[in-house]
Amino acid sequence: MREVDLYPPLKEYLQNQGYEVKSEVQHCDVIAIRDTSIVVVELKLSLNLTILLQAVDRLTLTNTVYIGVPKGIPALKKHRKRIVKLMRMLGLGLIVIDPAARFGGVDVLCDPSEYKPRQVKKKTQRLLREFSQRDGDPNQGGSTTQQSIMTAYRQKSIAIATYLRVSGESKAAFIAKALTEAKTRIILYDNVYGWFERHGKGRYSLSSKGLSELDEWISRNQQ
């Protein structure tokens, strides 16, 4: 397939909407004009940074800029929703073209528009809570292994495990009071990292796993 193969069905689609269409005008692949409306379409066989930058440059000519790509490209199969979101963030439109289709070979996935992301308050609150509760800055920006990330929850678990190593088997209520940590009971009960052992109602000790891993995590927390 060639980029020029995408042009005939696109031109027919735009003409059916009342546009006068011409190609290769002032470095633009496709120009469509109807009354005072100007549409620019850049045709490419794949989606990459080059075509995104090229399309963004065309926004200096008109607010209605589309990228036209063939149907079935791998990027759209794998990341369709995320690509459409990116196009909207950039103020671009996206058109999928099937040159083999006799009729209806053009599918507009999104039109250019001002991007107004919907903020999710719960996510924002979770972010701020984690930021404020995390003690210091123990991680390295750019870390890719989530299991090695020091979170506020793990810091709380380290504090509880340290208390148990020093004091031995203890009641959750005593630990919560000593550490001034309201979530002590939940952390002990959930035992996410396998660091704790339960002995009867509300009594816990440090497990062998917790004992073997605690010093390593204390060291990471102090970095």
Cα distances (angstroms) measured from residue 25 to each of 29, 34, 93: 7, 16, 19
pLDDT at 201: 85
Rounded to two decimals, the pTM is 0.63
pLDDT averaged per 10 residues, the chain (length 223): 88 92 89 92 92 91 92 88 92 92 82 76 84 84 70 94 95 95 95 94 93 91 75
pLDDT at residue 116 in the model: 67
What is the assigned CATH class of domain 145-221? mainly alpha
Q: Report CA Rg, the chain.
A: 29
- SS3 call for 146: helix
pLDDT one-digit tens code per residue, 139-197: 777 665 666 788 999 999 999 999 999 999 999 999 999 999 999 999 999 999 999 99
Give CA–CA dist 129/59, Å, rounded: 39
CATH number listed for the domain at residues 3-110: 3.40.1350.10
* pLDDT at site 123: 81
How confident is the model at residue 105, as a pLDDT? Answer: 85
Residue with tokens 């380290």: 158
**Domain limits of the chain?**
3-110, 145-221
Q: Mention every residue, 6+ apart, whose C-beta is less than 8 A from residue 7.
A: 23, 29, 30, 43
Identify the residue whose tokens are 């995104």.
52
pLDDT on residue 127: 80
| Nearest alpha-carbon partner for 62 in 26, 87, 37 | 37
